[in-house]
Amino acid sequence: MSLVNFNTNIQYDFQLPKINISTTNFKFTPIKNYSTYTSGNNLFSLYNNNFANLQKVLDSNNNNTTTNSLSSNKVSATLEDAGYDKTKGDKLANTAAKNTVGFTHQCATYVKNAIQNSGLGAYEYGDAYECANILKRNKNFKEISTKGLDLSTLPAGCVLVYDKGVAGYSSKYGHTEITLGNGQAASDGVTNNIRQGARVFVPVSQSYVA
């Protein structure tokens, strides 16, 4: 790119960096003055100031993304690590079990109603697979690792969330249900054979959750 001072006929040549605003690796390098002419220096100063400010914005966004990613990816290894609350779990399981009506493609509605009616969180709109994000925000629950875990052995009140198309469930909505502690799980209906592949959120004491 060239800039010409028409008063002096002096041409200033420099290359603008190719910038992808979404990149996490952009680093701004100031351009050195090519001349002592005031008009040229002002142009380079404007360039340097603008891109220095852009660098600050990108650095801030990158730091926020990293922080949010770290906080949202906290997963406890086991029930014990998460601090499973049996009282809450039993209450949630009992609430879910007594309100089943048979499968009506409304699993998320019944699970979220059970959570609300058990005093473990307000009802939030969203499909079954979206319950994962809903529960990540709920301090009454903590996600645990499922590595090597047989989901049918989970205690009462654990919420299972299957992503879209996982384990044969809906490719559009996914599936969610609440374990009953006996190898079954309840939502709008009762699952007798719990399938693998779900994310697991267990009820915990709020005082335990950071």
pLDDT at res. 9 = 52
Query: Rounded distance, CA 130 to CA 139, Å?
Result: 17
In whole angstroms, what is the distance from residue 191 CA to residue 103 CA? 9
| pLDDT for position 76 | 83
Rounded Cα distance, 95 and 123, in Å: 15
Asked if 158 contacts 176 with a C-beta cutoff of 8 angstroms, the reply is no
Per run of 10 residues, the mean pLDDT along the chain (length 210 residues) is: 50 50 50 50 57 57 43 72 96 98 98 98 98 97 97 98 98 99 98 98 74
State the DSSP code for 202: E
pLDDT per residue as tens digits for the range 133-165? 999 999 999 999 999 999 999 999 999 999 999
Q: How many residues does the chain have?
A: 210
* Residues 6+ away with beta carbon under 8 Å from 195: 151, 162, 167, 168, 169
Q: Render pLDDT for 157-188 as a digit per residue (tens, 0 to 9).
A: 999 999 999 999 999 999 999 999 999 999 99
What is the predicted pLDDT for the residue at 35?
A: 47
User: What single-letter DSSP state applies at residue 13?
Assistant: E
**How would you classify the pairing of strands 175-179 and 159-162?**
antiparallel
pLDDT value at position 11? 52
Calculate the alpha carbon distances from 71 to 22, 74, 75, 136, 141 in Å: 21, 6, 10, 10, 15
Structural domains present in the chain: 2-72 (no CATH), 79-203 (3.90.1720.10)
Residues 119 and 90: beta-carbon distance below 8 Å? no
Task: Look at residue 64 in the predicted model and tell me its pLDDT.
Answer: 47
Cα–Cα distance, 26 to 57 (Å, whole number):
11
pTM for this model (two decimals): 0.65
Residue the block writes with tokens 């993304």? 65
Distance, CA of 40 to CA of 37 (rounded, Å): 5
d(CA 96, CA 141): 16
